[in-house]
A and B are shown apart, each in its own frame.
Chain A
């Protein structure tokens, strides 16, 4: 229950961190907030020889208004996102999801980049960046590239990042007028990983949905968009029957795992219930239904 022998390198700039990552390759792991990685080290489930601690790179922690979008540095603490007025105003889905991540002392250290790069299937942020159609900026000594959220999550704990790349920034488009959002999840206790959670961002024009984004976490090997449910809401609106049909479609479209917390079938049912709740809440917040 103590970490294996390892060394910790503490770069003070991104350039230094990227060259260390290239130099040490598979021997090294980047250390962000450590709220998932350190437990794995304590359990000896992960045994890297070297940790590259990103916590002293001050210019990777920021929340900036870039006009059409918000740019969030990968080392921004979840707690900073939770209390950001800019996030609350321009992308309330991200704020609401953040309050549901673990507990305050975990959010004090945990980072958005760490959560996304870890790609835990039950984590909140992957579903949020899918629903918001964010772009994720990856950097290496070879240069920089932007990865669409839809192409980022490849499998359980596996992303499109190359071994020498670091996730450095998350580009979050601002939501348009007439849009409503909701993040709802079910966990055994507040702060536990979600058994199933839904991120919804729905834009309306004169009460008709024009852009429907629904993403699920906890119900498969990665977070994913619920395209069948999205199409039903887009076509049929947010009346009770359409919501019922969409939530049934959501349940059929997911492929959850059974584990000691919940069976696959129970997770599928929760996906339906959470989908209905999220769509209703998002439509209420957009002022389309009461």
Chain B
């Protein structure tokens, strides 16, 4: 009954499969079975956002999914962002705006931001602050992260991100 099962899925465009016991979390499957260690595990109860990956076009917490639930899924992880040595535009913006220090939260920040920006036609700065509150960073104080995601939203949407007055 609890014997490992084969899970077949697509990760960053590549068809992969591996063995998982039913209790194995999807985050651990990505890291320990498929070797995709770019996805980080922080709190393991859905609060910190470090393990966020994109499953079937939406960002999800991979620590709140079981590996066997990913059967047949189309998954994107941080390893799929760069094109060889060429960083993804959002990764470049994270670097330019100093949106990371230790880097532990960064994979989850990137996947969270990509879903936030790409699932919308327009965002305000407040939308970005609220949206990025889905992931915790203990280094940067968020200023650089908000700037990087704002710049990315402007690239993707082709229009400025509206800012509220500072006392809002």
Contact = CB atoms under 8 A, between A and B. Distances in A.
Interface of A: 1-8, 10, 34-35, 38-39, 42-43, 51, 53, 55, 79, 103-106, 108-109, 189-191
8 closest Cβ pairs, A-B complex = A103-B134, A39-B45, A108-B58, A105-B59, A8-B22, A38-B64, A1-B44, A3-B23
Interface string B56-80: 0011110111101100000000000
B133 A38 contact: no
A105 B115 contact: yes
B49 interface: yes
Nearest to B47: A39
A65 B131 CA distance: 30
Q: How large is the interface on B (under 10, 10 to 19, 20 to 34, 35 or more residues)?
A: 20 to 34
25 contacts: A1-B45, A2-B25, A2-B28, A4-B23, A6-B2, A7-B1, A8-B69, A34-B65, A35-B61, A38-B63, A42-B45, A51-B22, A51-B66, A53-B69, A79-B58, A104-B59, A104-B115, A104-B116, A105-B59, A105-B112, A108-B59, A109-B64, A189-B133, A190-B133, A191-B134
A268 to B, nearest CB: 27
Contacts of A35: 46, 61, 64
Interface of B: 1-2, 22-23, 25, 28, 44-46, 49, 52, 58-61, 63-66, 68-69, 112, 115-116, 130-131, 133-134
**Best-surrounded residue of A8, A43, A190 (most CB of chain B within 10 A):** A8
A103 B25 contact: no
Contacts of A191: 130, 133-134
Contacts of A42: 25, 44-45, 63
A6 B68 CA distance: 12
A151 to B, nearest CB: 31
**Best-surrounded residue of B2, B46, B65 (most CB of chain A within 10 A):** B46
Given A1-B44, A39-B46, A105 B22 contact: no
Contacts of B2: 5-7
Nearest to B45: A39
Contact of A105 (B25, B44, B61): B61
Contact of A5 (B23, B46, B133): B23
B64 A39 contact: yes
Contact of B65 (A43, A104, A109): A109
Given A1-B45, A105-B115, A108-B59, 11 more contacts: A3-B66, A6-B2, A8-B68, A34-B66, A38-B65, A38-B66, A51-B66, A104-B112, A105-B52, A105-B134, A108-B58
